[in-house]
């Protein structure tokens, strides 16, 4: 048995990169071409990035589809100086892959999944399940628990939601999110938007923006109409960014947290 199949030790390199071997079978496809087919992936965490990405042994990557990058995005990934463009079926994706500078990762190639500015590979799979946005973090939990707490939400003093039957979503590294039945939310005070977001733990969310006055960022409200099975309890319920509204739980007004979403909300 390969030691990578059972090892769980995390290694931190002098560059501040943390990595650990993974045991999942990971594949990445561009159109009908399999670019990555790996049974020995490595999960990599870069400094100041909240989610991991994968790097793969060179032997498990179609290196014949990679070209030295014409315009390498130096500085985008921790210390990386070697970038590759990907060419499949005449389509070229710039800076689709790179090599981390750490000696123990030098024989691995990493691929961009999100925040690339365009689609790199069209589909990623862990075993037979398609994974979106970024790899799941094995050290992170997401639990959706029905509750009888009393939760109310205010925007500029207006109560926009009030319930005794929320579902509390606990996600490692983030504040508790309070999902509220639609019947207990004043959705008439909000306007649907075309914005969507994806999460490998929860699925695809749709959004609403506040219709009233005040300093409220857009897309402050969201819902998962078809969540992934692990968080099925939040289906169709409404959640608010704690970072931008006032939430009162069992009579206690919560502080507005500072999170990875604070900057994008303009807080």
Residue boundaries of the structural domains of the chain: 3-131, 142-253
Q: For residue 157, how many other CB atoms are within 10 A of its CB?
A: 7
Does residue 5 have a pLDDT over 50?
no
As a whole-number percent, the residues of the chain with pLDDT over 90 amount to: 75
Q: What is the pLDDT of residue 267?
A: 59
Does residue 154 have a pLDDT over 60?
yes
Record the tokens describing residue 252, joined without a space.
């206690």
CATH code, residues 3-131:
2.170.150.40
Q: What is the pLDDT of residue 79?
A: 84
More confident residue, 117 or 243: 243
For the ranges 30-34, 155-159, 257-261, which has the lowest average pLDDT? 257-261
Mind listing the pLDDT tens digit for each residue in 117-133?
A: 567 999 999 999 998 88
Q: For residue 22, how many other CB atoms are within 10 A of its CB?
A: 24
Matching fold, domains 3-131 and 142-253: yes
Largest Cα–Cα separation, the chain:
62
- 25-46 burial by CB neighbour count: b if 16+ within 10 A, else e? ebbbbbeeeebbebbbbbbbbb
Report the pLDDT averaged over residues 168-192: 97
What's 142-253's CATH class? Answer: mainly beta
More confident residue, 3 or 192: 192
Report the pLDDT averaged over residues 137-146: 94
Which value, to the nearest 10 degrees, does the dihedral of the CA atoms of residues 137, 138, 139, 143 take? 80
Does residue 207 have a pLDDT over 70?
yes
* Residue 209, beta-bridge partner list: 191
Mind listing the pLDDT tens digit for each residue in 33-56?
A: 999 999 999 999 998 787 899 999
What are phi and psi for residue 105, nearest 5 degrees? -115, 5
Query: Which of the four pLDDT bands, split at 50, 70 and 90, describes residue 102?
Result: confident
Element (H, E) at 208: strand 203-210
What are phi and psi for residue 163, nearest 5 degrees? -155, 155
Does residue 114 have a pLDDT over 70?
no
């Amino acid at each position: 048995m390969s030691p990578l199949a059972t090892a769980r030790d995390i290694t931190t390199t002098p560059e501040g990169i943390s990595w650990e071997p993974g045991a999942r079978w990971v594949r990445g496809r561009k159109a009908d071409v399999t670019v990555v087919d790996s049974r020995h992936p490595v999960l990599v965490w870069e400094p100041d990035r909240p989610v991991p990405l994968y790097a793969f042994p060179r032997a498990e990557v179609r290196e014949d589809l990679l070209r030295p990058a014409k315009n390498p995005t130096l500085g985008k990934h921790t210390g990386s100086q070697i970038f590759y463009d990907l060419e499949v079926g005449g389509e070229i994706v710039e800076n689709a892959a790179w090599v981390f500078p750490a000696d123990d990762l030098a024989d691995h190639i990493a691929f961009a999944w999100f925040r690339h500015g365009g689609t790199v590979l069209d589909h990623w799979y862990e075993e037979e399940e398609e994974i979106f946005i970024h790899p799941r973090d094995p050290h992170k939990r997401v639990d959706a628990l029905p509750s009888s707490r009393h939760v109310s939400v205010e925007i500029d003093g207006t109560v926009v939601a009030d319930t005794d039957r929320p579902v509390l979503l606990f996600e490692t590294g983030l504040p508790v999110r309070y999902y509220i039945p639609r019947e207990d939310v004043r959705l008439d005070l909000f306007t649907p938007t075309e914005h969507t977001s994806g999460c490998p733990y929860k699925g695809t969310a749709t959004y609403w923006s506040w219709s009233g006055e005040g300093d409220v960022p857009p897309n402050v409200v969201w819902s998962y109409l078809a969540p992934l099975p692990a968080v099925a309890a939040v289906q169709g319920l409404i959640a608010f960014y704690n970072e931008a509204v006032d939430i009162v739980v069992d009579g206690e007004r919560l502080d507005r947290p500072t999170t990875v979403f604070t900057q994008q909300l303009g807080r």
